[in-house]
Structure 1
Amino acid sequence: MKIALLLSHISQSGVSTNTLDLARGLIKEGEQVVLITSGSMYNENKEIDNLVNKFKDLGIPIYYFVNSSKITRLRWLKIFIDFYSFLQISLFLLKVKPDMVHACSPYMSFIPKLLRIKFVTTLHIPILKPCFRLPQANSIITISRETQKYALTELDYCLENTKMILHGVDEKFGVRSTSHEIENVLSKFSIPLDKILIGLVGTIEPRKGHDILVQAISFLPNECKTRIHVVFLGSTIHGEDITWLTDQINANDLKKNITFVPYRDPKILYDAFDICVMPSRMEAFGLVAIEAMMSECCTIRSNTEGAYDQIIDGVDGLLFENEDSLALSNILKKVILDADLRTSIAKKGKIKALDYFTKERMVRETLDLYKKILN
């Protein structure tokens, strides 16, 4: 089977990571894969280039189209470039002649629709609206119970054309880094070795809830604050101002308690974290939580999209009400002071992730869907 993956751009996002894992898995299953993308949207640091290179290292044909967002904000020129991009992508698809198109970026799905090529699209986040760019696919893949409900109620899909396939992550996250590798990374970024490390992995933007975690830390008693250090792993999307976050950190006198680490492969840092917090105000599914669970971190997340598909609260992870920083603070206090609870949740979370959230399971279910549509 020849499969064309449509990805608007490559970035430090769950969509890009999921597309990379899907491509790897499909190739491993012996399928032919091509990628149509505009490449990386922003290059804040070399890790974005490294992500692009991971796609290249797969050895698959990659077809690049021009993305207007990279070039201009002038409306008339943007319209012209968008039309040119449409022609480019259409010609790529006509040249490749795929059996199946997978629109990993949903708003690209109108192109295979116009070309009358069978396609699926993945609904990553429940805010997209029906429009010309988001036509009905042969089947839509939803990644959580929230996106499933959204596809049925807001996008007018019927249950027969909707398939929930939970994201999976590479099982490399289940293989612990060596103590030497962990210590080297912590030393490189001057992160203390003798503290309970709390990590937040994600782009630095209000949606990811860094400020919610900062406020939760500020509520902790001193006996907890003195035991912990917080690591923010991630960069801004394209260099936005983050005074909304740094001002709050300074106002709560927490600068010495927090280290910022630019976007990089999170694997080793997951292994260094004792606790991983995902306080997002809105998510698609929350791959970070699964990566952290598989890495045997005690994982705490907001009860946004994907939470109840991932975690049984108090068993293999911990949940708090979205934006409730006091509730998060109370949970943090418990797991900081109770090492046995922290360890128990971390161990059960790893077992859960390895049982239900592997890349292999995700690829197998996706392939089954392709075959069902083509038969």
Structure 2
Amino acid sequence: MRQLSLLALTKSTGGIALYNKLLLTELRRIGVHSHTLCLSENSESYAADLARRGLGAEPVEMARYSIDLGGDARVLRRVITASREHEADVIVCHGSKSGFIGRAAGRITGRPVVYRQASMPFQRRVQGAKAPFYWALDFAARGFGGHVVTLTEYARQETLKAKLMPPDRVSVIRTGVDVERFRPATDRAAARRALGLDPDRPVVGWMGRMEPQKAPLDYIEALRGLVARYPQVQFVMAGEGRLEGEVTQALAAAGLSDKVRMLGWQSDPVAALQAFDIYVLSSHWEGLPITLLEAMASGCCCISTDVDGCSDALEDGVSGRLVAAGDAAALAGALEGVLHDPGLRDPYAAAGRHRAVTLFDKETMVAKWVELLSTLTAGRAPVPSAGTAEPASEGGQ
């Protein structure tokens, strides 16, 4: 019996690319074949990463931030050709431009399309004057048909409010993480030691891409008055990106260069998160950040800005703390609260872990995708059960 086959379109960086990789890796375990067209910058590296995991992939050049009629037409032709070459039963596309091109290809080839929408909740804040253009792109693609998947109920409501799709063609499938792999450390002191940290002192950690979206400078600003008051605490940052130079300068300007430990990019986020007592996310916008879910599953006490999907993940004062984005003073206040009263950390961490297990488990995410794919491909190809996993090579992180 022929395997179900998916053709995926995605940009090759950030959370969108990570989501595609996680989803297709899990679907492969239950016997779903996939091939990804890796678009925009980093496409060759991303395609190689997918290939190491046993997933079909190829880099495809595409202008991500602008209309390029000739280039976009070439991408559309490649999508149409690839869907036939790989006998795709469904086209799955991530992001606005991929969503437009993928749905156009689906209309031409007669294949069902899933548009995994990522930016609607924060489109106006991020795109500013360009937001109407992105709305128009999504609205025009409505005429091609397809089904929209959002990561949160809030995103679903924003999508419906923008009239981008009728209600029966918009589903919520929350991002899932491996709650068995990401779990509280049995020996946090050993986890700290493995990172070269003092095993006997608590750790406050920030981890992510050093990009404007993640606002690492807000974290540094929040630490200005805290580091000296809590000398027993180790403050760390893990990651890399365009703002590394500015981060280094900000630490020096705040007199924190020798007080905040820079850990660099972490190829094994499990090891890093198991060393953290407190995890801080300072982002100005997010869909549903995977690292926050991983930190919750790892038993960290989490403090996050209240943007978009973050408020779907954490309950303020129950499973962590939420503060306004861009408010470094509020971030500092929430962090000081759990530093001053260590008794708050364990209840927040336990509630966060429970929430990750019950709402954001990858098995639940895969089951919902299987249910959706089964509906869309009725009569085309059988979809394996989410419970019929087969061994798969993990490859690199």
Does TM, scored on the shorter chain, surpass 0.5?
yes
3-state DSSP of counterpart to 1:97: coil
**Residues 199, 233 of structure 1: 8 Å contact kept:** yes
**How far apart are the structure 2 equivalents of 1:40 and 1:261?**
25
**Residues 3, 102 of structure 1: 8 Å contact kept:** no
> Which residue of structure 2 lines up, in the alignment, with residue 231 of structure 1?
236
> Post-superposition shift, 1:220?
2.5
**Residues 124, 143 of structure 1: 8 Å contact kept:** yes
> Post-superposition shift, 1:232?
2.0
**Residues 290, 310 of structure 1: 8 Å contact kept:** yes
**How far apart are the structure 2 equivalents of 1:294 and 1:221?**
27
1:132–1:339 Cα change, 3 Å: closer
Instruction: Please tell me whether residue 115 in structure 1 is matched to residue 105 in structure 2.
Output: no
> Which residue of structure 2 lines up, in the alignment, with residue 259 of structure 1?
261
Amino acid at match of 2:370: L
> Post-superposition shift, 1:360?
0.8
1:180–1:217 Cα change, 3 Å: closer
**How far apart are the structure 2 equivalents of 1:145 and 1:310?**
11
**How far apart are the structure 1 equivalents of 2:115 and 2:20?**
12
> Post-superposition shift, 1:268?
0.4
**How far apart are the structure 2 equivalents of 1:104 and 1:206?**
21
> Post-superposition shift, 1:169?
0.8
Instruction: Please tell me whether residue 186 in structure 1 is matched to residue 195 in structure 2.
Output: yes
> Which residue of structure 1 lines up, in the alignment, with residue 16 of structure 2?
15
> Which residue of structure 1 lines up, in the alignment, with residue 185 of structure 2?
176
Instruction: Please tell me whether residue 88 in structure 1 is matched to residue 78 in structure 2.
Output: yes
> Post-superposition shift, 1:308?
2.6
> What's the TM-score once normalised by structure 2's chain length?
0.81
**Residues 139, 163 of structure 2: 8 Å contact kept:** no
**How far apart are the structure 1 equivalents of 2:112 and 2:229?**
59
Alignment counterpart, residue 139 of structure 1, candidates 147, 169, 173: 147
**Residues 8, 34 of structure 2: 8 Å contact kept:** no
> Post-superposition shift, 1:29?
2.5
3-state DSSP of counterpart to 1:223: coil
**How far apart are the structure 1 equivalents of 2:311 and 2:212?**
22
> Which residue of structure 2 lines up, in the alignment, with residue 330 of structure 1?
333
> Which residue of structure 2 lines up, in the alignment, with residue 36 of structure 1?
37
Instruction: Please tell me whether residue 56 in structure 1 is matched to residue 51 in structure 2.
Output: yes
**Residues 186, 193 of structure 1: 8 Å contact kept:** no
3-state DSSP of counterpart to 1:230: strand
Map residues 1-375 of structure 1 onto 2, 5 A cutoff.
2-11=4-13, 13-38=14-39, 41=42, 55-60=50-55, 62-68=56-62, 80-109=70-99, 110=101, 111-126=105-120, 127=123, 128-131=134-137, 135-136=141-142, 137-171=145-179, 172-174=181-183, 176=185, 182-183=191-192, 185-187=194-196, 191-220=197-226, 222-224=228-230, 226-236=231-241, 240=242, 242-263=244-265, 264-375=267-378
1:42–1:27 Cα change, 3 Å: closer
> Post-superposition shift, 1:222?
3.0
> Post-superposition shift, 1:85?
3.1
> Post-superposition shift, 1:68?
4.2
CA offsets 1:73-106 (integer angstroms, 9 cap, x no match): 9x99x65444333322321112112111111234
Moved more, 360-369 or 104-113: 104-113
Q: Percent identity?
A: 20
Amino acid at match of 2:315: I
**How far apart are the structure 2 equivalents of 1:31 and 1:67?**
26
* Alignment size in residue pairs: 356
Q: Which runs of 5+ in 1 are unaligned?
A: 44-48
**Residues 39, 62 of structure 2: 8 Å contact kept:** no
CA offsets 1:99-147 (integer angstroms, 9 cap, x no match): 1111123422323333332111111122242317971242100112332
**How far apart are the structure 2 equivalents of 1:150 and 1:330?**
31
Q: Which runs of 5+ in 2 are unaligned?
A: 124-133, 379-397
Instruction: Tell me how large the CA RMSD over aligned residues is.
Output: 2.8
**Residues 43, 60 of structure 2: 8 Å contact kept:** no
**How far apart are the structure 2 equivalents of 1:223 and 1:42?**
45
**Residues 107, 134 of structure 1: 8 Å contact kept:** no
**How far apart are the structure 1 equivalents of 2:223 and 2:280?**
12
**Residues 168, 357 of structure 1: 8 Å contact kept:** yes
**Residues 219, 326 of structure 1: 8 Å contact kept:** no
CA offsets 1:177-235 (integer angstroms, 9 cap, x no match): 76687245412xxx4444321112211112212111111111337322x1323222221
**How far apart are the structure 1 equivalents of 2:37 and 2:187?**
37
**How far apart are the structure 1 equivalents of 2:343 and 2:6?**
47
Amino acid at match of 1:130: A
**How far apart are the structure 2 equivalents of 1:343 and 1:204?**
28
1:358–1:162 Cα change, 3 Å: same
Amino acid at match of 1:22: L
3-state DSSP of counterpart to 2:272: helix
Moved more, 271-280 or 147-156: 147-156
Amino acid at match of 1:206: P
**Residues 320, 348 of structure 2: 8 Å contact kept:** yes
**Residues 279, 300 of structure 2: 8 Å contact kept:** yes
3-state DSSP of counterpart to 1:299: strand
**How far apart are the structure 2 equivalents of 1:277 and 1:192?**
19
**How far apart are the structure 2 equivalents of 1:180 and 1:68?**
46
**How far apart are the structure 2 equivalents of 1:42 and 1:196?**
39
